[in-house]
Amino acid sequence: MISCLIVDDEPIALDILENYVKKTPFLVLRGRCAGAMDAMKIMATEKIDLLFLDIQMPQINGLEFSKTLHDDTKVIFTTAFEQYALDGFKVNALGYLLKPFNYTEFLEAAMRAKEWFDLKQTKVSQPAGSDSMFVKSEYKLVKIEFDKLLFIEGLKDYAKFYLQDKNAPILSLMTLKSLEESLPSYFMRVHRSYIVNLKKVTTIERNEIVFGQASIPVAEKYKDAFQGFLNSK
């Protein structure tokens, strides 16, 4: 179940959204709010997964409020102004509903959110000592062989796996933090956005690890650990 809040300064819009949420079996309504300040009070005591959030509101508008949210809380914007659509997607919204919208349009946006949360909760592990793992990518399970994996790039909630035998990376919904806990010990975090396969490191130039055309910076925080690896060789 996805716990959600509806936030809008128009009572009629709140009534419509409340009706739509209650008709949707995988959504649980935790509250209705006339503005961001009311929403923050509820979020201080309740875990909220999803906000149906109006953009034009007094005091704090929806775009500004969305930038203060934790990455685990997602947003579907609801607004009467089409010009805000691009701004909505710039802040990583899961959807954008243009008023007046009907239940079918609402349900389509809610289903996209459900797919996102379902993917996020999918954790594929591998037995200890395994030489590969499976990750979910575009609704498929894709096998990642560790001896072909060069490095992983983190992009917010996503990870891009760069393999030596593939031109394009494999994109999966997971964080580098979760990967650090499941990868073999010869994978090292060298930057907040990169994990590298130490077995594949052959070239270092100006404090960057070079894999073909890609250069991976080694951040100050990880320099000592990486230097320790180099010294051991």
Residue with tokens 């500004």, as numbered in its chain: 64
pLDDT value at 52 more than 50: yes
Type of residue at 183? L
Per-residue pLDDT tens for 137-165?
876 788 899 999 999 999 877 899 999 98
pLDDT value at 78 more than 80: yes
Per-residue pLDDT tens for 85-111?
445 445 567 888 989 999 999 999 999
The torsion of the CA quartet 180, 184, 188, 192, rounded to 10 degrees, works out to -20
Q: Could you tell me how many residues make up the chain? A: 233
Q: Which of 116, 121, 110, 111 is nearest to 92 (CA)?
A: 116
More confident residue, 40 or 86: 40
pLDDT at 88: 46
Prior bond to 58 cis, omega within 30?
no
Query: At 203, phi and psi to the nearest 5?
Result: -135, 130
Range 13-17 average pLDDT? 96
More confident residue, 109 or 58: 109
Query: At 184, phi and psi to the nearest 5?
Result: -60, 165
Judge whether 8 and 54 are in contact, CB under 8 Å: yes
pLDDT value at 176 more than 70: yes
Q: With a threshold of 0.85, does the pTM exceed it?
A: no
Adjacency order of strands within the sheet including 170-173: 170-173, 158-163, 149-155, 194-197, 187-191
Enclosing H/E stretch for 84: none
Please state, in angstroms and as integers, the Cα–Cα distance from residue 25 to each residue in 95, 106, 121, 133, 229, following that order: 19, 13, 18, 33, 52
Mean pLDDT, the chain, whole residue set: 87
**Tokens encoding 233:** 């060789």
Give every CB contact of residue 83 below 8 A, 6+ residues apart in sequence.
none
Burial (CB < 10 A; 0-12, 13-18, 19+), residue 227, is: exposed
